[in-house]
Structure 1
Amino acid sequence: MDTRNIQYFMAVFEHLHFTRAAEALGISQPTLSQQIRFLEAELGMPLFDRIGKKVVATEAGQLLRLYGAKMLQAESDAKSAIKDLLHGERGTVRLAVLPSDLDFQLVPLFVQFKSKFPDIRLQVISTIFVHEEVLNHKVDIGISLQGLPDKRLVQIPLGREFYQLFVHSASELADRKEIALQELKDHPLVMYPKGFLGRDLVDAVCRKEGFELDTVMETGSATSLLQLVSAGVGAAIQPEGLLRRMPERTDIKMIPIAEPAPVRHLELIYSADRFISGAHRQLTNGLIDFFNGPEKRGSEEPL
């Protein structure tokens, strides 16, 4: 099978619409339809059911999506390996990270990385679906909350980080040295919506202790949560490292949460069956040092 036709098939599978897939590929819709027909003829089975304007993948299409992704990744890995052999510390690395870590922790690391490896192109996306992005080969490396062991992935622990209570400096809680989660049942809180990783982690600890927290406002952005805390709308429960890389703020104070305190365990992940280039290794080593090494002791040179 021609990998070009596999790329065409994957585009139709993703969009489930021939015209939109053709636009994404930069080819005409008749050309795309013809190539899909050629592929179906080669395989001897239809890949899509066309019901009026609706396109649905057949069982054969579902199977080809699974193996087609591996074919395209293998081709990409072969090209990357040869380029890596030719050029050494060059290439492109795609990284998926959680939104709050991108906004508040990792940008200084990326600046250092670019300074040390100017010929490596870094593409970073912000998402709460890090594992899915890695498994679907949409990124090369991911940093997310620690998941269950998965044979499809290489999973490298990146340490743990406790959650703390972020309050406005004028709050009645601002002078507390420690606070229990149960004390926050009637306190105004601003948090992520349910379904977000950080919110679910905090809620799980509360449920284990037999209570639930209520909110006065919810937003999916860590930046917005801090702005709401700064405006006195409510307090937020966030990882202690959220403000580590920011200039010291006098409007927000962090209060440690007493045991049982929510804690997040991070991990670095990448696909177990793919080629890891020199560029990937450089970034992977830098990230491991950043979370587990000298950075935890205050060094500014994790790479």
Structure 2
Amino acid sequence: MDTRNIQYFMAVYEHLHFTRAAEALGISQPTLSQQIRILEAEFGIPLFDRIGKKVVATEAGRLLRQYGMKMIQAELDVKNAIKELASAQRGTVRLAVLPSDLDFQLVPLFVQFNAKYPDIQLQAISTIYVQEEVLNYKVDMGIGLAGPPDPRLVQIPLRSEPYHLFVRADSELARRDSITLQELQQHALVMYPQGFLGRDLVDKVCKQEGFELTTVMETSSANSLLQLVSAGIGATIQPDSLLRQKNEYPAITSIPIKGATPVRQLQLMYYADRFISGSQQQLTKWLIDFFK
């Protein structure tokens, strides 16, 4: 068994269709079917059930996917380690980041990274599914909301951030020193849609207090939310660090929320058994220093 056959298997598992998997791999469908039969003969058990035109993974197939991903990643880690040894300063670092942090906080750090490692490609991916991207080997590391301990991961706490109310600087609310979530039931709000981490965190605290907030407009972009606040459409509830670069939004004021306050706990995470290149180690240190 080699990783090429595992990659063939993974393609079929992803598409659950031999023809589409073969097209994605750039090989013929008979060749792909033959390679899967070789794997099944080696294991002595079917990896897929073929019911007419429908393909369904068996229990053995689900197990092979779980361990096959680790085999493919292990091969990639070996290649990266040897490549780094040979070339010292080349390669790619993949980082998953929550959208608002990517838009408003980390660009200066990326500039610093490029200055030190000009030949290394940094791929910063905006996603709300940071941990899933790390666990599926889609990225090398991620910055997301802290979750329960996972033995597969190294999880490094970064910082806790309370949420504030962002309002237009010339609005009546801007004269307040603080405000409660309950008071916001009487004010127009612009927020992320439900299902977004930040929105769900706010809704959870409100639900615990026995009420719900309503919105006049929703958007999935942090930039759009702040533009709507600047235009006077409504206020928004966001992490206080979102306005770190305040010069970009001088028309917005941040008001602390008193009483029950949404707080997000950020963490840096990566696979415990992954190869960590020198550039990734440096980026990890910079990220920890930046957030702390």
Please indicate, yes or no, whether the TM-score normalized by the shorter chain is above 0.5: yes
Deviation at 1:246, TM superposition (A): 5.2
Q: In 1, Cα distance between the equivalents of 2:64 and 2:141?
A: 24
Q: Does 2:261 match 1:261?
A: yes
The two structures have a TM-score, normalised by structure 2, of: 0.94
Computed over aligned residues only, the root mean square deviation of the Cα atoms, in angstroms, reads: 1.6
Deviation at 1:259, TM superposition (A): 2.9
Written as runs of structure 1 = structure 2, the 5 A alignment for 1:1-303 is: 1-245=1-245, 247-292=247-292
The amino acid across from 2:148 in the alignment is L
The amino acid across from 1:72 in the alignment is I
Deviation at 1:248, TM superposition (A): 4.1
- Aligned residue for 2:247, secondary structure, equals coil
1:20-52: per-residue Cα shift (whole Å, max 9, x none)? 322332323332222222222222222122233
Q: In 1, Cα distance between the equivalents of 2:39 and 2:245?
A: 52
Q: Is the 8 A contact 2:230 2:249 kept in 1?
A: no
Q: In 2, Cα distance between the equivalents of 1:251 and 1:27?
A: 57
Q: In 1, Cα distance between the equivalents of 2:48 and 2:221?
A: 38
Q: Is the 8 A contact 2:162 2:239 kept in 1?
A: yes
- Aligned residue for 2:174, secondary structure, equals coil
1:243-289: per-residue Cα shift (whole Å, max 9, x none)? 21352423222111113321111000001121211121111111111
The amino acid across from 2:206 in the alignment is C
Task: Quickly say closer, same or farther: Cα 1:259–1:87, change in 2 above 3 A.
Answer: farther
The amino acid across from 2:154 in the alignment is V
The amino acid across from 1:50 in the alignment is R
Q: In 1, Cα distance between the equivalents of 2:131 and 2:273?
A: 15
Aligned length: 292
Q: In 1, Cα distance between the equivalents of 2:248 and 2:135?
A: 38
Q: In 1, Cα distance between the equivalents of 2:228 and 2:248?
A: 17
Q: In 1, Cα distance between the equivalents of 2:222 and 2:248?
A: 17
1:301 is aligned to none
Deviation at 1:241, TM superposition (A): 1.2
The two structures have a TM-score, normalised by structure 1, of: 0.91
1:299 is aligned to none
Q: In 2, Cα distance between the equivalents of 1:17 and 1:102?
A: 36
- Aligned residue for 1:123, secondary structure, equals strand
